[in-house]
A and B are shown apart, each in its own frame.
Chain A
């Protein structure tokens, strides 16, 4: 284990700079740096690398928590079961729908909120703090509050306000609307905060110069503000997409996956913790991990590369 800890940092250090002509002082500092960073590396390996590797190993076995000592290695069979299961693809679609719809709405509303927060003249700090309140509320608490509000059985006010005779949480469409609404309510402030940071990158002189040249407000927004904000928008989208794709708490509280609203996290949870099927559940978790990695890769390599020319042309 200690060899694994020493390896990467030492190798990185030696490859980045020529090893020769190091003074004793520099060498001592390197050593100190290594000692200082070692505890963090050990902790990271213990809490991140070990569970990930253990999950991958488990995903290659037929293993159940309630059949101790009967684990058998079955290669990639669990992945075969996962990819051939209708339920996996359904849950992948549910997850994708919730992610795409809620992040899109969050982007538009977040942008409006960010523009408002950016332009507001009076009580700036107070208004910004108020706008962030939903994000500050614990996700489970927010989910319960909205679940009670949407549920007819629990005497919720939303169905009555909308004059609905049926319970919106008793069918798929209504449950989706309620879940996405809760996600948007909770996460728009976070989106707005990230976009606000991007807005402050746009120089006022540029906007004023465009105004003098006769550009309309819409032209200034699409031709100047948006391109300059592109890196911030991409970061905001990346963070929110990764978060939304792993959605668990809101669904768990709203429907426990009923009415065809189960997501991949839900599937992984029920396979691991309810069915105690460690092998199959680990395979689902690994697949979820890979998809999240793929999303991050596409954002950074695909969109991230395209972001730079956009800035340069301006």
Chain B
């Protein structure tokens, strides 16, 4: 048994040494855990920043899973176990409150905070802020706009009501008419619902953590129910996510699509005949004449509390989010930048002809509830509102309020 102990001890020391990496001469390895950015733009930024550090650090890029849920699971398990090998982590915008209150990430203060927030659009900056402190540096954002078929719809609808009316009219004429939305039981449904609630002037969780579900929930639920139960709905709405929804648009069966900008280049390459007629417009309003507040997505870079080299990690993040890197991320990788100035860059404007819409929606934005118990809240919303066709708008306000309150107590199954 003593020998086993010695072996285990030896192993522990070996692991600890491996984790420390190059503690002697040469640059320190800073580990960056991030979603698998496919264009190579992040890898290029990591290499450029390592070179620019003058031998201080070398950023090792570690790709997580494609799915956001899986990324969170991997990171959470390692952070909760105190893994020192994570220095920088790319966090989905709705993890900030949870990671911050669990003590897994370091707050950004002083000069670091100033550098991370300088020139950043208000929406992305808000997602990285919790309880009045900055917890991460926004690196890219995302927001859904309306994509439509110009050959079927001469003028894009301004409101959800108009869009559903247009779809029903097209259906009567026997033309392609589906509205592609994300109706599966997952985060995409919550983005849809939350965007409608915020656009109707309401909210779900207030700044002090209080549940503020009110009449705008009913307005949102009525829109979702109407879309789901009329000819406007794709028959696959209850399982629809961003990718499959865009496939239906590419196949020519949809007239409208609420989706992220990735569909622009996607449709261009897979369905050129549809792309010819593809137009874009702002996310439809809920209240006529009031600009919508769309729940934004994207990623923020945090520094792990267990990092052995926090100052180098902060420095590396400041370099990764620098304008020249964000321009490449946007033009090459199609990621919406968080810096306002990039939206005026000619190279970006060419790749992103709808840049003005995106910028406007990141300035006048919506945001999903900022609470450490976000996973409970999102599951409660999904349980209550999926499938959209089964919603009863008359009792939805009290039902959702109760469901979220119970979820926040943490003693109920969801």
Give A residues with C-beta under 8 Å from B.
2, 62, 64-68, 77-78, 81-82, 85, 87-88, 151-155, 165-167, 169-171, 255-259, 267, 270-271, 273-277, 280, 284
Contact = CB atoms under 8 A, between A and B. Distances in A.
B387 A166 contact: no
A46 to B, nearest CB: 11
B149 interface: no
A85 B412 CA distance: 7
B80 A258 contact: no
Nearest to B99: A66
B303 to A, nearest CB: 18
A275 B375 contact: yes
A169 B236 contact: yes
B412 A257 contact: no
A256 B244 contact: no
B379 A170 contact: no
A170 B413 contact: no
A167 to B, nearest CB: 4
B80 A270 contact: no
Residue among B240, B244, B410 facing the most chain A CB atoms (10 A cut-off): B410
A274 B1 CA distance: 38
Closest 9 CB pairs of A and B: A258-B185, A167-B236, A153-B244, A170-B238, A66-B102, A166-B235, A153-B236, A85-B413, A87-B413
Nearest to A90: B413
Given A155-B247, A274-B379, A277-B410, A68 B102 contact: yes
Contacts of A169: 236, 238-239
A1 to B, nearest CB: 8
Contact of A151 (B76, B236, B372, B410): B236
Interface string B175-213: 000000000111000000000000000000000000000
Nearest to B376: A275
Given A68-B103, A81-B411, A170-B387, 16 more contacts: A65-B76, A66-B101, A77-B411, A78-B411, A81-B413, A85-B412, A87-B383, A151-B239, A153-B236, A153-B244, A154-B247, A256-B184, A258-B238, A258-B387, A274-B379, A280-B411
A267 B248 CA distance: 31
B69 interface: yes
Interface residues of B, number: 38
Contacts, number: 105
Given A151-B236, A257-B185, A275-B379, A2 B102 contact: no
A184 to B, nearest CB: 22
Interface of B: 1, 69, 73, 76, 80, 98-99, 101-104, 184-186, 234-240, 244-245, 247-248, 251, 372, 375-376, 379, 383, 386-387, 410-414
Contacts of B251: 155
B235 A88 contact: no
Contacts of B383: 87
A154 B244 CA distance: 6
Nearest to B104: A66
A58 to B, nearest CB: 13
30 contacts: A62-B410, A62-B411, A65-B102, A66-B76, A66-B98, A66-B99, A66-B102, A67-B102, A81-B411, A85-B413, A87-B383, A152-B236, A153-B247, A166-B236, A167-B236, A170-B237, A170-B238, A171-B387, A256-B186, A257-B185, A258-B184, A258-B386, A259-B185, A267-B413, A270-B414, A271-B414, A274-B73, A274-B375, A275-B376, A276-B76
B413 to A, nearest CB: 4
A249 to B, nearest CB: 15
Contacts of B379: 270, 274-275
A153 B248 contact: yes
Contacts of B104: 66
A68 B186 CA distance: 27
A45 to B, nearest CB: 13
A170 B236 CA distance: 6
A64 B185 contact: no
Contacts of A153: 234, 236, 239-240, 244-245, 247-248
A310 B94 CA distance: 62
B357 to A, nearest CB: 26
A151 B236 CA distance: 8
A219 B238 CA distance: 50
A245 B111 CA distance: 56
Contacts of B240: 153
Contact of B244 (A151, A166, A171, A258): A151
Contacts of A85: 412-413
Given A151-B244, A256-B185, A170 B235 contact: yes
Contacts of A154: 244, 247
Given A170-B238, A275-B379, A276-B375, A259 B387 contact: yes
A65 B414 CA distance: 17
Contacts of B412: 81, 85
A271 B413 contact: yes
Contacts of B186: 256, 258
Contacts of A64: 410
B69 A274 contact: yes
